[in-house]
Chains A and B, each alone.
Chain A
Amino acid sequence: MGLAGQLLYYSVHPNQLRSILQWKIWHDPVHARTPEKESANLKECFKYLNLTSRSFCSVIQELNPELLVPVTIFYLVLRGLDTIEDDMTIPLENKEPKLRNFQNILEEDGWTFTENGPNEKDRELLVHFDVVITEFKLLKPAYKDIIKDITEKMGNGMADYVLNAEHNVNGVNTVKDYELYCHYVAGLVGDGCTRLFVEAEFANPALLKRPELSESMGQFLQKTNIIRDIREDFDDKRRFWPKEIWSKHVDKFEDLFDPKNLQKALNCSSEMVLNSLKHADECLFYMAAIKDQSVFNFVAIPQSMAIATLELVFQNPEVFKKNVKITKGDACQLMMESSQNLKTVSEIFLRYVRRIHKKNKPTDPNFLQISMACGKVEQFIESIFPTQDPKALALIHKGEISPEQAKTKAESAEANKDVMYLMLAVFGTLLVISGLMIGAAYLAGARFDVAVNELKKGKIFPKFDGGSEEAAKIANAYDHGEL
């Protein structure tokens, strides 16, 4: 879109422009990098982060300083692995050991890789991979172990797929295979991130006991991207939509792109959307366990983009013609709303889930299932942010209060409670400080017994006698009125 086109677009979509401006003007990162304190090597790493990532580079660079470098390195390592896997010009016998062994390469000082084809987009990163290794070695051992472990699992998973000839010719077969693929490329990332967050004490350790939650975080993002990218992947001769799903709607995968099969293709994409939507409630559940604002933004922004993308691709014929994207204005709006708290993110999910529900048609083979999936997300949000209060309802039915009163009563009860706590805090603080002061005075030799005796004698306002005559003289000597 040229400048004139953009001007025209924003003049009829002022909300979009407003969101963009608001984000640019008011966005205040929780943490910002401090490049002046960074080593030249680390700066290089950030350079490659900005080169290789569009969606994650800004959220990563606003992370809490404790996790800023570990997550950046984690990202670059996985990006490096991905760049080897993606490149069809690397012969298998060279590729496989590199993938399976990448976790050990991370310990090899000065390792670089120059065998990527000239067209591989992130080639530069591997050519200068020694900077990543240098920085990796400086990380805390606990972070290093997590990154190595995930790298090993992902590398082996990728190697299995590279060797799987059937997969390379026909794409993904069953839904189970599809989810396994998403596990290797995204679920593992979710797992690694969670372990980093817990290690840094920015997330509730209970997340480690519910691995399906971090898995869902990865699956939701990956599956949504796979649905959106169908056309682009097809043009690149890659097929990620599982045969188990598309074969219910068309005979040959190519048929999805034939305009005369549009309805069937849309039904098929609905089923893919349904499959992805099933993770939405677990994603919200996961985000409830994040304790640090910058980490929350880091996980929430991509999730909000994903639910919005899912709504955009749902029942959208364009996905079979081109790569559809949420508008820049919507993206800014979403970033603003999701860098707040779970409540605002839940509102985003609710908004898009209801739009999906509105677009859902009974002619869709998965009509009821989609409706149920939307209902499930709504019910989950209601379970964490309830609209109704059973205690207030009980009072209403006892006839003690009317509904309006119940509301104000609940509110004022809440306010009273707040006031009580506030008073408690104020007096508590005063008590502690007085205690400290009296204690300190006592230790320094204050004679409270004398003071009490004097008070008993009724001398509440002790007269200042000016001290001894000598002292008065000295004081007078220094009393220069003109000063």
Chain B
Amino acid sequence: MAPIPPSQKRPLGNVMVIGGCGFLGHHIIAQLVEDYKCKVSVIDIRTVRNRRPESDGVQYFDADITSMESILPIFEKTKPDVVIHTASPTLAGGTKELYRKVNVEGTKCVIEACQKTNVKALVYTSSASVIHDNASDLINADERWPVIPAKNQTEYYSQTKAEAEHLVLAANRSESYPRLLTTSLRPAGIFGEGDVQVLPPIVAVHFNNQTGFQLGPNTNLFDFTYVGNVAHAHCLASLALLTTSTLSTKPLDNEKVDGEAFFITNDSPVYFWDFARAVWKCAGSEKDTRHVWEISQDLGMAIGGMLEWGFWLVGRTPKLTRRQVRYSCMTRYYDCGKAKRRLGYRAKTGLQEGIERSVKFILEERKAESEKKGQ
């Protein structure tokens, strides 16, 4: 895409990105720097990776969001107008305690810091999993679908994300701090350059020559969302909240962004195994589907269960788990129409381009790694 000329860059004031060195966070920073007129600062637990060059003028602060003493001085120093809160342990990478500490306690701290320093807009990165019970299908789900209550939520990560989202939305125009506007974005299946959860395991299947299996009949549609589009939605949400904060009256119910949650997808659900095959193809596979052995969901669950049991005895996790079987057989896609209508969101990068960029990134990493090993 052609760079936006400076005169057309829209102003966002002082923007603070929490988790700005993370996977999603650093894509948001890239867009802020390239497409908006704003002064960007970053809070992250460690700011060594994914840093912008000095010339971009991004300020980096090492801080722990679970501690008020740690972040408040930074807020006071940088005086953010907009705070984008993306920090969270990954779905696979945390313990229960960590999820609660960072997602719930951390978010409480962030909200409080925003309120104390007169921040105008807080954009929270929630997750599309807050309405998912990890077993049932989600068919064209939109924001009317209920958030799964804690007692029915089998994924602790999602439970803490839902709690945090609730706190953030409750802080919108609160009685004691009516000036703070908040919104929550729920991206579905983020992939892209730097992703550790979605694409690397899929690419690994290709390099391990395991593309010959298919769990389920592959009629299930699934949402995968390119990280650049998710970052774009965060910028749009920031802009919308800032605009709202200048209005003297509240926006109409069917137009408002503050106090609302939005699903963010690539607006093109695809069949689960088609996505995987498109990734394998991009990684170099020339196979069609003649070599593929289709395993029914029931059989897959049985095998997964046995493997889990067997590996549990030796204290490890198998490559095939019942959870994976369920996920590769379920329908899970959303309708992002609300974000399109109210935020003006469009998935600027299509799935094909998103896959190409991300797989290229993974292949380059692999190459660099093997060169390192070779030395």
Contact = CB atoms under 8 A, between A and B. Distances in A.
Interface of A: 354, 357, 360-363, 367-369, 371-372, 374-376, 378-379, 382-383, 386-388, 390-391, 393-394, 397-399
Contact of A375 (B271, B281, B352): B271
A323 B84 CA distance: 59
B152 interface: yes
Given A369-B352, A372-B351, A375-B269, A363 B288 contact: yes
B148 A397 contact: yes
B285 interface: yes
B333 interface: yes
Contacts of B280: 362
Across the A-B interface, the 3 shortest Cβ-Cβ residue pairs: A371-B274, A394-B146, A390-B144
A348 to B, nearest CB: 17
Interface in B279-295: 280-281, 285-289
B59 interface: no
Contacts of B270: 368, 371-372, 375
Interface string B131-144: 00000011111101
Contacts of A376: 268
B271 A371 contact: yes
B219 A387 contact: no
A386 B271 contact: no
A386 B140 contact: yes
Nearest to A380: B140
11 contacts: A357-B274, A362-B288, A362-B289, A374-B271, A375-B271, A379-B140, A379-B333, A383-B335, A386-B140, A397-B148, A398-B149
Interface string B309-347: 000000000000000000000000101000000000000
A357 B271 contact: yes
A397 B149 contact: yes
B48 to A, nearest CB: 36
B27 interface: no
Interface of B: 137-142, 144-146, 148-149, 151-152, 219, 221, 268-271, 274-275, 277-278, 280-281, 285-289, 333, 335, 351-352, 355
Contacts of A397: 146, 148-149, 152
Nearest to A392: B146
A379 B148 contact: no
B143 to A, nearest CB: 9
A362 B221 contact: no
A370 to B, nearest CB: 9
A369 B271 CA distance: 11
Contact of B351 (A368, A382, A388): A368
Nearest to B335: A383
Given A375-B270, A397-B149, A397-B152, 16 more contacts: A362-B280, A367-B274, A367-B277, A367-B281, A371-B270, A371-B271, A372-B270, A375-B268, A375-B271, A378-B221, A378-B269, A387-B139, A388-B141, A390-B144, A390-B145, A398-B149
Contacts of B271: 357, 371, 374-375
Contacts of A374: 271
Nearest to B142: A390
B226 to A, nearest CB: 13
B269 A362 contact: no
A36 B219 CA distance: 53
A399 B148 CA distance: 11
Contacts of B137: 388
A410 to B, nearest CB: 15
B281 A379 contact: no
Contacts of B219: 354, 357
Contacts of B146: 390, 393-394, 397
A372 B268 contact: yes
B268 A363 contact: no
Contacts of B277: 362, 367
Contacts of A369: 352
A397 B154 CA distance: 13
A362 B139 contact: no
A16 to B, nearest CB: 25
A362 B352 contact: no
Contact of B355 (A360, A363, A368, A383): A368
A371 B149 contact: no
B40 to A, nearest CB: 34
A360 B287 CA distance: 13
B269 A379 contact: yes
A371 B140 contact: no
B170 to A, nearest CB: 19
A61 to B, nearest CB: 39
A368 B278 contact: yes
Given A372-B268, A379-B221, A362 B278 contact: yes
B274 to A, nearest CB: 4
Contacts of A378: 221, 269
Contacts of A383: 140, 335
A361 B288 contact: yes
B286 A363 contact: yes
A379 B144 CA distance: 17
A367 B271 CA distance: 11
A257 to B, nearest CB: 23
A371 to B, nearest CB: 4
B151 to A, nearest CB: 8
A354 to B, nearest CB: 7
Contacts of B268: 372, 375-376
B207 to A, nearest CB: 16
Contacts of B288: 361-363
